Amino acid sequence: MCCKGCEAVAQAIVDNGLDEFYRHRTENAPTGQELVPEFLRQARAYDHPQVQKTFVHVESDSVREASLILEGITCAACVWLNERHISALPGVLEVNVNYATHRARVKWDNTRIQLSQILEAVHNIGYVAHPYDPSHQERLIENERRALLKRLGVAAVLGMQVMILAVSMYAGDYYGMEVEFRSFFSWISLGITLPILLYSAAPFYRAAWRDLTHWQTGMDVPVSLGISIAFAGSAWATWHQSGHVYYDSVAMFVFFLLTARYFELVARKRAAEAGQALVHATPAVAIRMTVDGSKVQEETVTVAELVTGDRVMVPPGDTVPADGEVIEGRSSVDESLLTGESDPVGKQPGDTVVGGSINFESPLIVQISRTGEDTVLASILRLLDRAQTEKPAVSRLADRTAAWFVLGVLILAGMTAIYWLQHDPERWLPVLVSVLVVTCPCALSLATPTALTAATGGLTRLGLLVTRGHALETLARTNRFIFDKTGTLTLGKLRVLETHSLAQTDDASLLTIAATLESRSEHPIARAICTAVATPPARIDNVTSTPGSGVSGEIDGDNWWIGNAAFVQQQSGTAIDPETIASLHAGGRTVVWLANRAGVQAAFVLGDELRPGAASLVQYLYSTGKAVTLLTGDHELAAQAAASHLGITDARWNQTPDSKLAYVRAAQQRGDIVAMVGDGVNDAPVLAGAHLSIAMGSGAHIAAANADVLLLSQQLPHLVTATQVAKKTMRIIRQNLAWAVMYNLVALPLAAMGYVAPWMAAVGMSASSLLVVTNALRLTRQKKTGNT
């Protein structure tokens, strides 16, 4: 901490939370403007570890990640400028700004740069950045909306008067009007336009001034220039009592531009809201139970105060405040916010509950295991945030072009003015103004982010979490889907159906040995064997797990192996009779073998169920012309049984993670766009190798799965919806981009040639960006398809 002031600010945040702090600050700010020293003091307070706990995700010792709100973003060029500026700071590892939500995600190396330095750097280029806090952002948007509405109202009311005067002057031109009258009307128009210029149009000037003082050209520069030139030209004409006045055009510009900004704001808000339900899922307060001697006391505390190990009471109807384990009470909870699945899930002592789920029936006492940024909900939000801020290539290009585009427009405007001055001096002013106002690079850069934000937010409500910016684009292009079997196409809830002793030992002791070997494995087979045994596992040394094959270990000085036939035979150096293998696998059941140096000792037959909806997904994929492959480490017979039930014609068995990856690579070499669908338990390398990774996500595995798309609902048919949404999103993005490019290509030359009156230019550019945003909003509503 640098000074007492920062210390005090940090303490205030720790005590009252960010939200309370913001409210206090907003209410007490003298003019709503940031005061520089005050800002810096607050910025430094954000370096305080205690303060960071609420909004910074600690990825490793030095790597931190935070979500920020950026105030002052008015166009795509601002996005580009901020990204370029922040990423150039030494120690900043990654930065992405989302134009649709005005949020930035920054990853930095805490040993090289402090968060306050990043905030200061943003401040230095004329923007304000602070930690993302949902209610604060809502308040900001609401304030912005109200301010815009006021400016819009002033422009509308005064604009009307100017228009009436303008109409009389036009009529006067036609029927003849005394010079004094005309002059008088002009002066009055000037007087009425002035407040529009000074009050309603102020945000444009402010942003343009910020851009110019930092040698940047954003959208507001040509707009402000257009308005100023039109006004100055008219004022000059009024003073000299000669030439045309354009007060009506000025009023109209300002009115239309503000209208477009207003609707854009409302639409952006709606697009961002699609994923917002999650943000408000956790309650503000919780009931903490403390044991004082023999008395149990209940106290209400803020959720930020909860720490691991605390016990909280969750009455029916209340939301679970953080992740934990039920230690008392039986009830059912609604986890739909996290999984999209609305059926209540039964909970009893020993079960885990996640923060954000709603308790239904009776009180639960929960011991908190994870709080704040470590909870499942926080990781879901972080992943969604990443997807929404990460930009696909086309969006990046649009942002970068916007900055140059504006510069190009300014140059073209200058040339146009010179040309018209020489050829038709009467018209240089309106033509110049039209050129300055008609272009709309914002349509270009709004095209992609609004569509992606709306689509990903909508999918989240289905329990389908998109975690990367490229995911929808890639999904729309995917032509080969590769599925893992166990846990993906099947439920992965295996049961031991039969135990076959192939030696003299009895079934029970063989099962105990098997369970001992499996005791540390996460594999569904391991869990099945462990639950089949009542006796606790014995001592085991040197456990090694070979993903996709099995497990080995030393029990009582004896080496044991459990796994598929190939693995067990190869490791123990013994052979299994092929007929035994075939007979046990009959009907497509999964079999694992247990062996020691003396040979194979036992076989366990396991049963699993196909996931509901798997067949309909496969059918849909085939019907849309996709290739489908089943890759499994299981035996041929199990693989073929599953494949024939699901109608998959291409199945491959006995695959190790390496050979699965090799298969994916080979398909990619042939030019396929490959999506790998797995359960994320032991197929991480294959998932990472595919163009698009889709994993079954649940509970604590969410962050570990590291996939581009997570099926939190565990409903395979939701992939049908996702594919359809992805296609629709790409179509809308293409439409938007095509419109934006076409509009600008057509409008600019027409304006330069003098075919576009200034008012038409104002309408055209406003309508253009509105069209793009409204088109994207169609994606916020998504139907559930094929839900089973």
Which residue, 102 or 611, has its beta carbon nearer to Mg ion?
611
Q: Which residues does 84 contact at the CB level (< 8 Å), separation at least 6?
A: none
396 backbone dihedrals φ, ψ, rounded to 5°: -55, -45
**Rounded distance, CA 66 to CA 53, Å?**
10
Give the count of alpha carbons within 13 A of 330, CB side only.
Answer: 1
- Residue of 218, 340, 463, 487 interacting with Mg ion (CB under 5 A): 487
* 721 contact, one of Mg ion, ligand ADP, none, CB 5-8 Å limit per kind: none
Interface segment toward ligand ADP; rule CB under 6 A; list 46-54, 234-242, 308-316, 483-491: 483-491
By rule CB under 6 A, what string of x and - marks binding of each residue 338-357 to ligand ADP?
--------------------
- The residue among 610, 557, 603 whose CA lies nearest residue 577 is 603
**Rounded distance, CA 236 to CA 244, Å?**
10
- The residue among 380, 334, 372, 340 whose CA lies nearest residue 353 is 334
Residue 550 near ligand ADP by CB under 6 A: yes
Contacts 24+ apart (CB under 8 A), 700-704: 700/352, 700/376, 702/376, 702/379, 702/380, 702/383, 702/465, 703/379, 703/383, 704/680
SS3 content of the chain, % helix, strand, coil (to 5): 55, 20, 25
Interface segment toward Mg ion; rule CB under 5 A; list 476-484, 500-508, 538-546, 717-725: 476-484
Give the count of alpha carbons within 13 A of 643, CB side only.
Answer: 21
Instruction: Provide the minimum distance between the beta carbon of 538 and ligand ADP in the complex, in angstroms, as a whole number.
Output: 17
Site residue total, ligand ADP (CB under 6 A): 22
91 and 148 in contact (C-beta within 8 Å)?
no
Q: What string of H, E and C letters represents the secondary structure of 243-255?
A: CCCCHHHHHHHHH
Interface segment toward Mg ion; rule CB under 5 A; list 407-415, 479-487, 498-506, 572-580: 479-487
Tell me the C-alpha to C-alpha distance, in Å, between residue 485 and each of 624, 679, 715: 22, 9, 15
Q: How many residues does the chain have?
A: 788
Which residue, 203 or 492, has its beta carbon nearer to Mg ion?
492
Residue 453 near ligand ADP by CB under 6 A: no
Two tokens, residue 438: 């008609």
Residue 373 near ligand ADP by CB under 6 A: no
Catalytic annotation present for 484: yes
Chain centroid to CA 69: 14
Contacts to ligand ADP from residues 721-780, by CB under 6 A: none
Residue 44 near ligand ADP by CB under 6 A: no
Nearest residue to ligand ADP by CB is 633
Which residue, 245 or 605, has its beta carbon nearer to ligand ADP?
605
- Residue of 633, 680, 717, 758 interacting with ligand ADP (CB under 6 A): 633
Residue 655 near Mg ion by CB under 5 A: no
**Rounded distance, CA 299 to CA 310, Å?**
12
Contacts to ligand ADP from residues 484-513, by CB under 6 A: 484-487
* 450 contact, one of Mg ion, ligand ADP, none, CB 5-8 Å limit per kind: none
What b/e string do you get for 177-194 counting C-beta neighbours within 10 Å, with b at 16 or more? eeeeebeebbeebbebbe
Residue 611 near ligand ADP by CB under 6 A: no
By rule CB under 5 A, what string of x and - marks binding of each residue 671-690 to Mg ion?
--------x-----------
Two tokens, residue 480: 């080969």
- The residue among 682, 639, 680, 640 whose CA lies nearest residue 526 is 682
Which residue, 303 or 716, has its beta carbon nearer to Mg ion?
716
Q: Which of 323, 484, 672, 679 is catalytic?
A: 484
- Residue of 52, 467, 632, 744 interacting with ligand ADP (CB under 6 A): 632
The full DSSP string for 134-175 is HHHHHHHHHHHHHHHHHHHHHHHHHHHHHHHHHHHHHHHHHH
Residue 563 near ligand ADP by CB under 6 A: yes
Instruction: Provide the minimum distance between the beta carbon of 691 and Mg ion in the complex, in angstroms, as a whole number.
Output: 20
Contacts to Mg ion from residues 148-187, by CB under 5 A: none
Contacts to ligand ADP from residues 656-715, by CB under 6 A: 682
- Residue of 331, 590, 715, 769 interacting with ligand ADP (CB under 6 A): 590
Residue 519 near ligand ADP by CB under 6 A: no
Which residue, 45 or 641, has its beta carbon nearer to ligand ADP?
641
* 634 contact, one of ligand ADP, Mg ion, none, CB 5-8 Å limit per kind: ligand ADP
Type of residue found at 462: L
Instruction: Provide the minimum distance between the beta carbon of 330 and ligand ADP in the complex, in angstroms, as a whole number.
Output: 32
**Rounded distance, CA 484 to CA 683, Å?**
8
- Residue of 95, 271, 286, 526 interacting with ligand ADP (CB under 6 A): 526
Instruction: Provide the minimum distance between the beta carbon of 576 and ligand ADP in the complex, in angstroms, as a whole number.
Output: 13
- Residue of 82, 357, 453, 564 interacting with ligand ADP (CB under 6 A): 564
Residue 484 near Mg ion by CB under 5 A: yes
Residue 521 near ligand ADP by CB under 6 A: yes
- The residue among 635, 632, 630 whose CA lies nearest residue 606 is 635
Residue 549 near ligand ADP by CB under 6 A: yes
Residue 548 near ligand ADP by CB under 6 A: yes
The CB density around residue 662, as the number of other CB atoms within 10 Å, is 14
- The residue among 787, 628, 647, 643 whose CA lies nearest residue 720 is 787
Contacts to ligand ADP from residues 402-441, by CB under 6 A: none
Instruction: Provide the minimum distance between the beta carbon of 602 and ligand ADP in the complex, in angstroms, as a whole number.
Output: 12
Which residue, 18 or 695, has its beta carbon nearer to Mg ion?
695
**Rounded distance, CA 279 to CA 75, Å?**
26
711 and 483 in contact (C-beta within 8 Å)?
no
- Residue of 261, 391, 468, 523 interacting with ligand ADP (CB under 6 A): 523
Interface segment toward ligand ADP; rule CB under 6 A; list 53-61, 375-383, 544-552, 715-723: 544-552
Instruction: Provide the minimum distance between the beta carbon of 68 and Mg ion in the complex, in angstroms, as a whole number.
Output: 38
341 and 360 in contact (C-beta within 8 Å)?
no
Instruction: Provide the minimum distance between the beta carbon of 638 and Mg ion in the complex, in angstroms, as a whole number.
Output: 12
Residue 569 near ligand ADP by CB under 6 A: no
* 548 contact, one of ligand ADP, Mg ion, none, CB 5-8 Å limit per kind: ligand ADP
Contacts to ligand ADP from residues 148-187, by CB under 6 A: none
DSSP structure class, residue 526: H
What b/e string do you get for 734-773 counting C-beta neighbours within 10 Å, with b at 16 or more? ebbbebbeebbeebbebbbebebbbbbbbbbbbbbbbbbb
Tell me the C-alpha to C-alpha distance, in Å, between residue 539 and each of 112, 358, 515, 520, 542: 46, 41, 11, 12, 11
Type of residue found at 777: L
Which residue, 282 or 590, has its beta carbon nearer to Mg ion?
590
Instruction: Provide the minimum distance between the beta carbon of 683 and Mg ion in the complex, in angstroms, as a whole number.
Output: 6
Which residue, 546 or 787, has its beta carbon nearer to ligand ADP?
546
Residue 486 near Mg ion by CB under 5 A: yes
**Rounded distance, CA 333 to CA 320, Å?**
9
- Residue of 81, 106, 304, 525 interacting with ligand ADP (CB under 6 A): 525
Which residue, 132 or 604, has its beta carbon nearer to ligand ADP?
604
Interface segment toward ligand ADP; rule CB under 6 A; list 36-44, 494-502, 518-526, 760-768: 518-526
**Contact positions toward ligand ADP, by CB under 6 A?**
484-487, 518, 521, 523, 525-526, 548-551, 562-564, 590, 592, 632-634, 682
**Contact positions toward Mg ion, by CB under 5 A?**
484, 486-487, 679
Tell me which residues are annotated as active site. Answer: 484
